[in-house]
Amino acid sequence: MLKLVTSTLTAAASFSMTDTATTPNAQTTVAPTTLSVSVTVDTTAPTLTFARSAATASTQAITFTVTGDEAIDCTTLSTASGTDFTFTNISAITGIVQTNTTTCTITATSTAVNGGAAVTSTLTRATSFSMTDTAGNAQTLLPGSPQSITVTATDTTPPTVTLARSAATAVVGSPTFTVTGNEQINCATLSTTNGTDFTFSNITSIAIVQTNTTTCTITATTTATTGGATVNASLTAAATFSMTDTATTPNAQTTLTITTPGTTNFIAVTIPTPTIGAAGISGGTSVVFYIATTPFASPGSACTPTCRYLEWENVSGVAQDWCSVSTSVAGTGTGIGAGANNTALMRAACNNSLNLLSLLGSDTNWFIPSRDELNELFRNRASVGWPSGTAGEYFTSSQVDASPTAAPPGPASSWAGGTDGTSQAYTNRAWRQWFDSGQMSWDRTKTQPAGLVRIRAYG
């Protein structure tokens, strides 16, 4: 509201002033004795309106406006959360600009993530809200509050991706590298073919797995041989390297930053000649328990037909059935090298999840030992770290199709067999071995639980 104010100045009865003479002369009268001036003064707070620039946005930068019915002072608004505005899914007000005499434009940053889900970002009048017009009249009400904008941030920036080796050296033939992004990346857009996204040196093949949303793990099969010279296995970015992020419209990155060393990322691979009791090539707790004097075949293993070593790894968990008592797995073998194929046959025939296969896991490099393979582990148990006092019975992957007529390997006087008391020969059983005496048996059913060790063959 504008108010007319009249201001009056009147000469006082004691009015006196002088001129500038050497001896000043005083004057006590003035004409006219009274003067008046009328002034229009603004004493009313502005009426404000709060609005959003749009209902939706595709970038994190969003804008709102405060408009007055008269000239307003935008510098009286604060950018701090909780002073004039409270934030919901807004990280900051980055600026408040006086667009014209009656309008303030507020720029804020939404918390929406590039390529992520839609976010509703809201500015709300705080309880301490106050702004003034240019006359200094304060307004604490803000009609239109709150205002919300739905932000779906479009990702238009390619990821920054970095290649790193897992270690400078390795004693296994399959070391790993990682590609890491500064945002979510799609590992499926990387090729395992030499020369497409990566160039191989002393690497025969690679496998790529999405370890998490920002990391691809690359497992390389190197040319290193057991007992052979050290091989520098390296990956470099091919000229056609390209991978994308996971945006709705994927953004491709064609530059791969390599951490060490320089432009080549290599791992020095040395595979030592194994000894009984030494660490196996799989790392972890695997231990070598058998070394062949001549190569053997292990159908289903990568090393076949030139496998030389067997490593073992204990499997935690309660004893389990071999398979359903009624399920016969035809074609299993008992000798060294038979376990991998035996296990593949079991995987195809046994559909009961509560059996040995549930403990074995899905990695087909590992398998349940055959009868003779398990016996080799028993023979070398003292050298391979077999847990002291662990004397339970363990299954093999070898099925018994008819009652054996000859003793299996192991202590010749301590193998069990015979009939079930009705003169019916035992069939559709599985070999198992006790790790206290070394006794081997086939006279118990497949559903009489036993423990599991898993083994792996390599050359």
- Read off the pLDDT of residues 350-399 as tens digits, 9 standing for 90 and up: 865 567 787 787 888 899 999 999 999 999 988 988 876 566 889 999 99
Lowest mean pLDDT among 139-153, 240-254, 313-327: 313-327
Which amino acid, residue 313?
E
Same domain, 376 and 438: yes
Same domain, 340 and 440: yes
Asked if the structure places residue 156 within a domain, the reply is no
Task: Please say which residue of 99, 117, 151 terminates a domain.
Answer: 151
Helices (H), 365-409: 371-379
Same domain, 109 and 198: no
Asked if the structure places residue 274 within a domain, the reply is no
Q: Is the pLDDT of residue 270 over 80?
A: yes
pLDDT digits (tens, 9 = 90+) for 1-17: 556 667 788 888 888 88
Ranked by mean pLDDT, the top range of 50-64, 340-354, 434-448 is: 50-64
Calculate ∠ Cα 251-257-260, nearest 5°.
Answer: 155
What residues form DSSP beta bridges with 309?
291, 458
Same domain, 359 and 225: no
- pLDDT band for 241, please (50, 70, 90 cuts): very high
Asked if the structure places residue 279 within a domain, the reply is no
| DSSP category for residue 91 | E
How many Å is the Cα radius of gyration of the chain? 42
Same domain, 232 and 170: yes
Same domain, 142 and 249: no
Same domain, 28 and 108: no
Same domain, 314 and 413: yes
Q: How far apart are CA 442 and CA 452, in angstroms?
A: 16
Does this model's pTM top 0.75? no
Helices and strands per DSSP (H, E), number in the chain: 3, 33
Asked if the structure places residue 147 within a domain, the reply is yes
Q: Which two tokens stand for residue 132?
A: 């003034």
Q: Which two tokens stand for residue 413?
A: 């006087």
Same domain, 247 and 324: no
Cα–Cα distances in angstroms (integers) from residue 114 to residues 52, 63, 184, 195, 261, in the given order: 21, 18, 10, 31, 32
Same domain, 106 and 235: no
Mean pLDDT of 343-352: 84
How many CB atoms are closer than 10 A to CB 332?
23
Asked if the structure places residue 186 within a domain, the reply is yes
What residues form DSSP beta bridges with 215?
180, 212
pLDDT digits (tens, 9 = 90+) for 171-195: 777 889 999 999 999 999 999 999 9
Q: What would the DSSP string read from start to end of 249-278?
A: SPPEE--EEE-SSTT-EEEEE-BPPP-TTS
Asked if the structure places residue 390 within a domain, the reply is yes
Asked if the structure places residue 440 within a domain, the reply is yes
Task: Please say which residue of 97, 117, 151 terminates a domain.
Answer: 151
How many CB atoms are closer than 10 A to CB 102?
18
Same domain, 262 and 388: no
Same domain, 327 and 306: yes
Residue 171 sits in which domain range?
A: 161-269
- The count of domains in the chain is 4
Pair 40, 94: CB distance under 8 Å: no
Asked if the structure places residue 6 within a domain, the reply is yes
